[in-house]
Structures are given as structure tokens and as C-alpha cells.
Amino acid sequence: MIRFDIITLFPRMFDSPLQESLLKKAQERGLIEIVVHDLRDWTQDRHRTADDTAYGGGAGMVMKVGPIVKAIESIRKVPATSRAVLLTPQGKPFSQDVAGEFSSYTQLVFVCGRYEGVDERVLSFVDDEVSIGDFILSGGEIAAMVVIDAVSRLVPGVVGDEASVREDTFSNGLLKYPQYTRPPSFRDLNVPDVLMSGDHEKIRRWRRQEALKKTLQRRPDLLEKAGLSDKDATFLKSI
């Protein structure tokens, strides 16, 4: 079981996304726990101030170090089995490998940045800085939802068919092969015959080759780390 703690200035942003679909069922079954914390609960002035102007000038506000550090220290249970993570566009890229690493902890504490960012001294009190992409969001809340969803899928029992997790895009270093369902023909677009052949070995081979082909066309950079077999390499050369 993993506990996710979220430190945010806007706790209501999480009300609906965390109460739908797999995440809701996983919480009900005790496979994961998600707790949202209002950062202002750790402020000390009567205005519950969590941000201030930047030293040196400049546009925008900066989130204060004190409330964030107090929140982390108050929420974090066992440092040896937990991880404090700052969601920031300056962090390392989030990936399936990072999701797998995070899934090995019993607690993840997410700090959602806002405005112009957080006081740089906060970095001395977190273990990781993570970015979900090279673009700017209004804050770290949506990024936290993305990470929670990706990590939760790796918790045993959260996804009903665990084989689907093993075959997901990126799980084996490749993009996922094409998938089809009924009807077999739609506006002259037909399901490949091999998928209706009943020959499981042919289907497995076709899916592998299609995954390789799609990855080569769309994300060739992934092939360098995909652990390709000699057969895979030969097939790619033939394309």
C-alpha cells in the first residue's frame, strides 16, 4: 500500500479526479491512500500567507520556504521508506522508470509549486524534483495527479488485469502495438487477419513487430534503450 500526501494551495482541485475510476476503487480497497493538505495550515500570520515578493525584484510571487518545510516534516512518516517530491518544470523528466521507482516506497509527499516557483531553500528538504514535460502549467497540482495515476497503476491489485500493465506503452521500452475490437470491418477499414487467426504465436510476433515499427516511426529515441533482440534488429533493418 502506498500513501500519497499532496501539499497544495488549492486542495479542492483534487476533489473530482481522485474520486473517479481506478483511483477511487483503489482507495476503497485500501490499496492506496491519498491525503490532500492545505499548505496554508502551516502558515503563522493571520492572513495565512504562503508566498511573498522575490528578493532582487522581478514579476510574480515566490512560495515561502517555512510553511513548505513545516508541512513536509509534519506529514512525512518514515523517511527511509518515503520520498518528498517537488513538482517543477525544472525537475528531471517523469517516465515509466521513475514511476516504477516511486512505486517501491510506502509514502510519497508531493509539493505543488505555484506562481514563480518555490524558495530555492526548499530543495534542501525534498528528495526529488520532477517534471511531466517541457511546458508550463499554472501549478504542480495537475502534475501531481499525473504522477499519482501512473504510480498507482503499478501497485499490485489496482489494475484488474496485471498483464495489461506489463504490456502498456513504455513498460517494455516501446510504444504499444495497434489494438482493435468489434466490428471486424468499419467503413472499409479492416482488422488485420492475423488477429482473428487464433494463432497466438503469430499474433505475439505481429504485435512485437508493429510495436517496433510504431516506435521507429514516432519515437526512434526509445529504441536505444529498449533492449532489442537480434530478431528485432533484423526486422527494423528490413523496414
pLDDT in tens, 210-238: 999 999 999 999 999 899 999 999 999 99
Which CATH code is given to the segment(s) 167-238?
1.10.1270.20
Longest dimension (CA), the chain: 70
Q: How many CB atoms lie within 10 A of CB 138?
A: 10
For residues 21 and 24, what is the distance between their CA atoms, to the nearest angstrom?
A: 6
Q: Give me the pLDDT at residue 5, please.
A: 98
For residues 155 and 180, what is the distance between their CA atoms, to the nearest angstrom?
A: 27
- The answer to whether residue 83 is catalytic is no
Q: Give me the pLDDT at residue 172, please.
A: 81
Q: Give me the pLDDT at residue 150, please.
A: 97
Q: Give me the pLDDT at residue 162, please.
A: 72
- The answer to whether residue 221 is catalytic is no
Catalytic residue among 116, 119, 167, 232: 116
Place of cell 489494438: 179
Catalytic residue among 51, 83, 141, 153: 153
- The answer to whether residue 116 is catalytic is yes
Q: Give me the pLDDT at residue 29, please.
A: 97
H or E element: which one contains 26? helix 21-28
| Cβ atoms 43, 50 nearer than 8 A | yes
Q: Which CATH architecture has domain 2-152?
A: 3-Layer(aba) Sandwich (3.40)
Q: Give me the pLDDT at residue 167, please.
A: 64
Q: Give me the pLDDT at residue 22, please.
A: 95
For residues 94 and 150, what is the distance between their CA atoms, to the nearest angstrom?
A: 10
Place of cell 523517511: 79
- The answer to whether residue 89 is catalytic is yes
- Indicate the pTM of the whole model: 0.89
Catalytic residue among 3, 11, 76, 89: 89
> Which pLDDT tens digit goes with each residue over 59-83?
999 999 999 999 999 999 898 999 9
What residues of the chain score a pLDDT lower than 70? 163-164, 166-169
Catalytic residue among 168, 205, 207, 232: 168
Q: Give me the pLDDT at residue 177, please.
A: 94
Residue 77's Cα: distance from chain center in Å?
22
Domain positions in the chain:
2-152, 167-238
- Quick one: cell of 95? 517516465
